[in-house]
Structure 1
């Protein structure tokens, strides 16, 4: 399994996202230039120019017509995917940490950091209401509890948003009422990433407490735990097989003092049901910050602190492999 190495970022990757068909891969990093790539050959299709700081999050809507990015330059921006032209800019009072399109692509969400005396809040917009977007007047503003949001995703049918927090809380918000529905504290440290299974009945969380955990989407019931010896920065559920992949490694600031062997910068594959590790994939020269499965499940990508994206296609042995039970 020889990966394609994509090098279009000067600094550490923060998030990668496939579009629904899986032919395009979107990436953002601590440099200010989000990129889009062809996933089949790793060719760079273009760059979204305009941000003036680290870009923390990126999302693409279901028909790949618009892209949304959130940055430390205190803006969230909306782009035309085919031309790379900026459509809208939402100015905020602090850095934008997470952003996302709802499943229908008609609602937008972003959250801001609690820095410089500003409170952490979640803002919701309706993309069909042009006046609302032009005047930067959200249809809903949800003030977040004591701990800031570090990861957030839309739930099924545009009805809920699930947010992960710095203190390990996972909270489900009702988008009709603008209220908290469920709140669980199964992680002891910051949640770095939340990703859904293909049918959105489950989601997986990656945390600094060295674990990834699987939850039920409706009730936030904790189902499984995947343990490692290093902080987990990102985790994804395979759409094809009962597998999950975890990316992480030692804290970025300690990396210079250890070799890659000790730093444990491998992507790790676990069985979804038995929570047993069955494979590791080496390659990155620093912690893996973000992982994503291809929508067809035949490969995955990872983005690391080293500024590289590695595009993997699974070998035939992977599809033949099954844990005996």
Structure 2
């Protein structure tokens, strides 16, 4: 855990015996839930770092998410041996002693194989507003909605042709943006799952976030990690790229990492953002005054032979 204003490390949560792929913090920052390759999800005390409960799964746990109200959480686990991938929901009432929690899920949603025999692998899970549905992404480019009470599949769309690496929502969860290995990131309306915008790149996109203060999208990714050791940072394309949300145009980038960017998040106040990469670094970037004061004019159509000039509007 780190302080966002100065990068000072506060503490460490020790306990998992495998890679930690995902985490979520409850509404009052009192509890943290984590997803690990050791086939467990853990509930932690955010202040002390103490493990409150250990929830065992049939396979590696890929993602976790607190429900609105933080009285329960959902997890997604990979297929393992004879077990299919699963969605699990656990009750964790805030007003009860964690030692009384049941480590058996209240609901398990089995994710069977596809008609062609391939196993499905969920990649992200999010609760929609009022806990009305579970939003799950998959490695085949699909997005599915599930009923958290009955486990029924409500809807399915295919925004991408390849794996969806990450999904992010705006603050009020009316928009979501996907990041895919097919070199694109797409913006959708949550209510009717209508496709709104597409942001095209020349590299796999590992994460994307929506700015709350400007009509901007931040994208991160880069060349596959297995090829990084033989590639310079410039060639590997490990920058954070800035796109206009409405016009889909790239107008700037921020360099610094020498490995693929795996995670991005922007401060709700819009003044800084964090990036985590395969190079082992988390970088905290503060926007300068020129970016914060920058206006977003309506772009003009270029005349014949005239090239558009990208505005390097964001600097580390």
- The TM-score, its normalising length taken from structure 1, stands at 0.86
Q: Say which SS state the counterpart of residue 229 (structure 2) adopts.
A: helix
Which residue does 2:6 correspond to in 1?
Answer: 41
Q: In 1, Cα distance between the equivalents of 2:79 and 2:178? A: 22
Find out whether 1:310 has 2:283 as its counterpart. yes
Correspondence 1:232-251 to 2 at 5 A: 232-251=205-224
Q: In 1, Cα distance between the equivalents of 2:70 and 2:153? A: 23
Find out whether 1:60 has 2:33 as its counterpart. no
8 Å CA contact 1:126, 1:132 repeated in 2: no
Inter-CA distance 258–307: structure 2 relative to 1 (3 Å threshold): same
Which residue does 1:100 correspond to in 2?
Answer: 65
Q: Say which SS state the counterpart of residue 46 (structure 1) adopts.
A: coil
Q: Say which SS state the counterpart of residue 290 (structure 2) adopts.
A: helix
Which residue does 1:140 correspond to in 2?
Answer: 107
Which residue does 2:43 correspond to in 1?
Answer: 78
Q: Quote the RMSD (CA, aligned, Å).
A: 1.5
Correspondence 1:111-260 to 2 at 5 A: 111-128=76-93, 134-146=101-113, 147-260=120-233
Residues matched between the structures, number: 290
More strand by percentage: 1
Cα offset, 1:115, TM superposition:
2.7
CA offsets per residue over residues 68-103 of structure 1, 9 Å max, x none? 111111110000001110000001121100001122
Larger deviation, residues 132-141 vs 60-69? 132-141
Q: Which has the larger radius of gyration?
A: 2
Cα offset, 1:131, TM superposition:
8.8
Cα offset, 1:170, TM superposition:
0.6
Find out whether 1:292 has 2:259 as its counterpart. no
8 Å CA contact 1:125, 1:133 repeated in 2: no
Cα offset, 1:198, TM superposition:
1.5
CA offsets per residue over residues 17-62 of structure 1, 9 Å max, x none? xxxxxxxxxxxxxxxxxxx111111111100011111111111011
Q: In 1, Cα distance between the equivalents of 2:98 and 2:43? A: 15
Which residue does 2:313 correspond to in 1?
Answer: none
CA offsets per residue over residues 90-140 of structure 1, 9 Å max, x none? 011211000011221112011111133321000011212769973322111
Q: In 2, Cα distance between the equivalents of 1:133 and 1:156? A: 28
Find out whether 1:267 has 2:240 as its counterpart. yes
1:282 pairs, out of 255, 260, 263, with 255
Any stretches of 5+ residues in structure 2 without a counterpart? Answer: 114-119, 299-316
Inter-CA distance 132–83: structure 2 relative to 1 (3 Å threshold): closer
Q: In 1, Cα distance between the equivalents of 2:97 and 2:206? A: 36
Cα offset, 1:322, TM superposition:
2.6
Q: In 1, Cα distance between the equivalents of 2:104 and 2:15? A: 22
8 Å CA contact 2:52, 2:98 repeated in 1: no
CA offsets per residue over residues 286-319 of structure 1, 9 Å max, x none? 0000000112111110000011000111111112
- The TM-score, its normalising length taken from structure 2, stands at 0.89
